[in-house]
Amino acid sequence: MSLTRTVVRLSDGRDLIYFDEAAGSGRAAYPDTRELPPPPPASQLRYDPLVDEWVAIAAHRQTRTFLPPSDACPLCPTTKRFASEIPAPSYDVVVFENQFPSFSDRIAPDEITQLTDMVPVKPGLGRCEVVCFTSDHNAAFGSLPPSRVRTVVEALADRTAELSGLPGVAQVFPFENRGVEIGVTLHHPHGQIYAYPTVPPRTAAMLRAAARHAERTGGRNLYADVLAAEQTTKVRVIAANEHWTAYVPAAARWPFEVQLAPHRQVPDLPALTDAERDAFGPLYLDVLRRFDGLFGKPMPYISAWHQAVVGEGRELGYLHLQLFSIRRAADKLKYLAGSESAMGAFVNDIVPESAARMLRDAA
């Protein structure tokens, strides 16, 4: 796929990249006319010795933009009345550094290095970017044509490759939050990319499980074996094509959860072939429309790309997309209450086989 990639600088020094589906867009001709303060310093990472995890403390995010009116949306193209994060009057797909990042490479000079002898502290080095899928404020990812989904995949692959090469980055995580029930702060169709400085807890758990499986089976890949089992039983498969399968996990944690996986083990988005990238969009759009069709209204969801880590354990990774919703009925949400929030022990209200049947019927 041929895209025009244009890099510009916003007035505070942050990077912005246009991914245009046609040449000669002239996006670079539009400067950022705003007077912005310098970007905030990196967040603080504090180590929790009780669970062997790092927690990011990013106090500057408390002041981030929250559900502005549509005529003041920072993700819409700039107009004569309002200067947004995107200086050009139109765009296809655009990626820029988050103005309120959880992780960045800007280190405060007075960084604390130790709170107690049990709790070390270090800068939250990394990067956070925003991905705008369309300039149409009232659209949704599920309403995009397959050609635009292909552009988004190209943009995510581009950013994954570049961010994976930054010093100290452990994993690159693209995702989309949709719906006020999920907690979005901007209605415009967009996603984010986190370049983590540490391996996140879920990835760490998956790596441990994959390593144990490889040791027991003489080197077999855990996710490949799980996918093959789902393809064989077919009970929880929602849809498939030549290169991808969408299925409900047998031990789904969320009321409605689907994983989309390529049939070939690849570590991340840049490793996908052109044919695999072409085949992803139609299948994913089909699944998103099934989600919205379940209860006849837009489904709140989180869409999360699980990619291989950058360093040790990379060979254990298997790229896949996890899509899930907290809606368990037309008028009910799944809250992460005592067991889930305090203990991390999930209790699902919907039998995965029932969820798969409902999603198949929602076509």
Nearest-CA neighbor of 97 among 127, 73, 67?
A: 127
Do 304 and 175 contact (CB within 8 A), yes or no? yes
Tokens read off for 361:
């019927």
188 is in an annotated binding site: yes
132 is in an annotated binding site: no
Rounded Cα gap, residues 60 and 43, in angstroms: 8
128 is in an annotated binding site: no
Catalytic residue, candidates 187, 190, 243, 306? 190
How many CB atoms lie under 10 A from the CB of residue 42? 25
213 torsion bin: left (phi>0), alpha (psi -120 to 50), beta (else):
alpha
Rounded Cα gap, residues 119 and 116, in angstroms: 5
190 is catalytic: yes
Do 196 and 103 contact (CB within 8 A), yes or no? yes
Residues annotated as binding site for Zn(2+)?
73, 76, 137, 188
* Catalytic machinery residues: 190
